[in-house]
Each structure stands twice: as C-alpha cells, then as structure tokens.
C-alpha cells in the first residue's frame, strides 16, 4: 500500500524544526523505522513530515556528573557501540543489542523508539528499570518527564502537540550493581513477546517489564519482595500481578504472564551474579 500525500521538510536547526512542528498536522520523522511502515498501511497520515534525523543537535552521548545524556537522534547502533554507555550504563547497552536487526539498529533512534511507545519494544523496560528521564521540547518551552509518567498507554506517551524528545537522561551505574535484560523474542520482528530489565545492588533492585501489557511498567511489588527476601523465585511470582496482559497470535495473556515470571527470575539471578 502507498501512503497518502504529505509535505516534507528537512530543517537545518532544532529551533527551525520546533517552529515547523507547531503547525497542525506536522509530525517528526527520525529514523522512520516505525512511522514509515504505519504510513504505508495508512495507520498514520501526517500532512507534513519534519525530518529531525539529520540534526546534529540531537545526536550525542555524554556523561555529566552522575548522569548520562543521550540525544534523541542517536541511533541504536551508536548507543550499543558507545564505550561510554558500555562503561557507565551497561543495562542500556545490553538492551539495545537486542533490538531488531542490524539494519534497524543502524537507522532507528533512541528518541524515536521512546516516542513511538510500542508495547513490545525493548527500550521501555530498561527506561523503567533505570528510572530514565526525558527532556521534552517544543516551540516556547521545555520540561522533563520521568519514565513512569511518560509511558501512558499503547502507542501513547506524555508528549504534547508540537513536542519532541530532545534527550534521554539515565543514571551512571554505581560500582557493584549487576544488570540483565532477558526477553522472549518474536523471531520475525525481533520484538519482545515479554522482556525484563533488572538492576540489582546492595541498596536497591529495579525491575522493568515490556511486552506484557499495553505499556512498559516498573514492577515495584516484585522489587519489594526481592529486597526483603533476595529470593528471585518469590519476586518473580508476583511480577505480573495486576497487569492487564496482552493476548495475540504470538502468545495468550496467561502465557505472557508465565513468561514474565520466568524471565524475571532469570534476569534477577543473572543480575545478582554480576554484582561487583
């Protein structure tokens, strides 16, 4: 199928892009790994595409104190191969290596993936476990939103009209923290039927889950049990409690909950074995 007609603009600066995005019917284009297929199927029909994928202002990885700042236009491959990310945020590096295939990782961007909010995407599990923050900008203003508030529902985020993600902010991992990302992969697409991201230290545990429901979430109930018992099986047993699980041709709701428990236990055990 062929997409509907649209106007195309390639602004030279971020400010120019924000001015164009203030127009009704305008939509940003980064890597295009999600938007273009949706346009071909006419599930999305923007009147104007604003290409922000070439803006150098949105393509960077840098450490500032105890935080990592990653420009929204940074590709998956740049995140995966960055020595800074590998050294200071290994969970993000491990998670991004599981995204799609090499072609997708070469074109897709961290900001585009977050903004699309696919319920089976890999990044959101890590964002939840990392308690990531998103710097959102639009013409005339900016704000910072945490991952728990950013992901609202299936393909729905806290982004407002004319607003884009400028950067993703994640913590610099402290020495002694073990991490792991485990997922049951859908072979044709590479998406997660269920994916679980875990960070474990002597002071805390964080568990992010993707693929199970309409949006990624942080499993605070499982975190509390693991903190008090250090028992991966007991913590994993409650990770899907209260979740409204998806059901499709790839997995039923009950099987997804079963997978969530299995992969949470695996991730917790591997993360614990990597501590120190």
**What is the tens place of the pLDDT at every residue in 2-46?**
778 889 999 999 999 999 999 988 999 998 878 888 888 887 888
What per-residue confidence (pLDDT) applies to 219?
A: 98
Which CATH architecture is the domain 178-273 placed in? Answer: 2-Layer Sandwich (3.30)
Under the banding of pLDDT at 50, 70 and 90, the label for residue 203 is very high
pLDDT higher than 80, residue 276: no
Query: Between vectors from CA 268 to CA 263 and to CA 269, what angle results, nearest 5°?
Result: 100
CATH 3.30.43.10 fits 7-51, yes or no: yes
Q: Which of 224, 242, 246 is nearest to 234 (CA)?
A: 224
Question: Which residues neighbour 49 within 8 Å (Cβ) at sequence distance 6 or greater?
Answer: 6, 7, 8, 9, 26, 27, 28, 29
Query: Between vectors from CA 98 to CA 93 and to CA 101, what angle results, nearest 5°?
Result: 120
Domain boundaries, the chain: 7-51, 57-171, 178-273
Its CATH class, for the domain covering 57-171, is alpha beta
CA distances from 48 to 19, 33, 117, 257 (A): 13, 17, 21, 40
Q: What pTM value is reported for the model? A: 0.94
**What is the tens place of the pLDDT at every residue in 218-231?**
999 999 999 999 99
| Same fold flag, 7-51 and 178-273 | no
The answer to whether residues 266 and 182 touch, using CB atoms and an 8 Å cutoff, is yes
The answer to whether residues 153 and 246 touch, using CB atoms and an 8 Å cutoff, is no
């Amino acid at each position: 199928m062929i997409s509907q007609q649209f106007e195309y603009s390639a602004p030279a600066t971020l400010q120019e892009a924000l001015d164009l995005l203030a127009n009704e019917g305008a939509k940003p284009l980064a890597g295009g790994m999600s938007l273009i297929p949706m346009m071909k199927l006419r599930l999305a029909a923007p009147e104007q595409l604003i290409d922000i994928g070439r803006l150098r202002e949105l393509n960077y990885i840098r450490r500032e104190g105890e935080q990592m700042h990653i420009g929204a236009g940074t590709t998956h491959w740049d995140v995966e191969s960055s020595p800074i990310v590998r050294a200071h945020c290994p969970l993000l590096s491990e998670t991004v290596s599981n995204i799609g295939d090499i072609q997708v990782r070469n074109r897709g961007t961290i900001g585009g993936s977050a903004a699309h909010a696919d319920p089976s995407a890999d990044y959101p599990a890590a964002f939840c476990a990392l308690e990531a923050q998103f710097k959102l900008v639009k013409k005339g203003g900016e704000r910072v939103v945490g991952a728990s508030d950013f992901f609202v529902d299936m393909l729905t985020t806290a982004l407002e009209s004319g607003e884009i993600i400028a950067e993703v902010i994640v913590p610099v991992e402290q020495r002694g923290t073990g991490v792991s990302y485990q997922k049951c992969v859908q072979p044709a697409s590479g998406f997660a039927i269920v994916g679980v991201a875990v960070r474990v230290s002597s002071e805390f545990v964080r568990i992010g889950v993707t693929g199970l429901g309409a949006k990624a979430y942080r499993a605070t109930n499982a975190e509390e049990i693991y903190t008090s018992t250090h028992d991966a099986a007991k913590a994993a047993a409650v990770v899907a409690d209260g979740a409204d699980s998806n059901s499709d041709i790839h997995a039923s709701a009950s099987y997804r909950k079963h997978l969530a428990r299995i992969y949470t236990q695996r991730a917790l055990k591997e993360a614990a074995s990597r501590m120190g």
